[in-house]
Amino acid sequence: MKGPTPKPPTLRQRRNKVATRAVLTLSGARTRRTPPLPDGRDWHPLSVAYWRSIWRSPMAGEYLDVDVGGLYLLMDLVDRYWTGPSIRLASEIRQQRAEFGVTPISRRRLQWEVERAESVTRKRTRPEATDDPRSLWRTVK
């Protein structure tokens, strides 16, 4: 018994597309202003450095204003960890970091791909067009 003929490949559509899929670039981080850490406490220098690194990362371009509150909570945990380390704090920090795509596995889960510097450079520099492509070859010793 013959089944229905399959659709041509050009007409097939994936129905499981993810809305969070994105290619993250450093230019996205440059457009965002780093929000200040809340006043009223002396922040540990490692906490301040971590806050800056989050906002300089390619993920910063994906954060919405509503995410800043959650990142403040994460920084509160990080600051508490640096002033008095505990396993309970470390496990909570690990879970909160995953929520904001700070870890490699969470970026995979969100389908966020960080654009590599090599690919950016490769896109910008193209070999000059020549009549014979073999003229681009060179001898390796």
How does pLDDT run along the chain (141 residues), one tens digit per residue?
Answer: 688 888 887 777 766 666 667 788 877 666 778 899 999 999 999 999 999 999 999 899 889 999 999 999 999 999 999 999 999 999 999 999 999 999 999 988 888 888 876 555 555 555 555 567 677 777 777
- In angstroms, the Cα distances linking 11 to 80, 82, 105 are 54, 55, 33
* Three state DSSP letters for the chain: CCCCCCCCCCCCCCCCCCCCCEEECHHHHHHCCCCCCCCCCCCCHHHHHHHHHHHHCHHHHHCCCCHHHHHHHHHHHHHHHHHCCCHHHHHHHHHHHHHCCCCHHHHHHHCEEECCHHHHHHHHCCCCCCCCHHHHCCCCC
- The domain limits of the chain are 22-117
pTM for the whole structure? 0.67
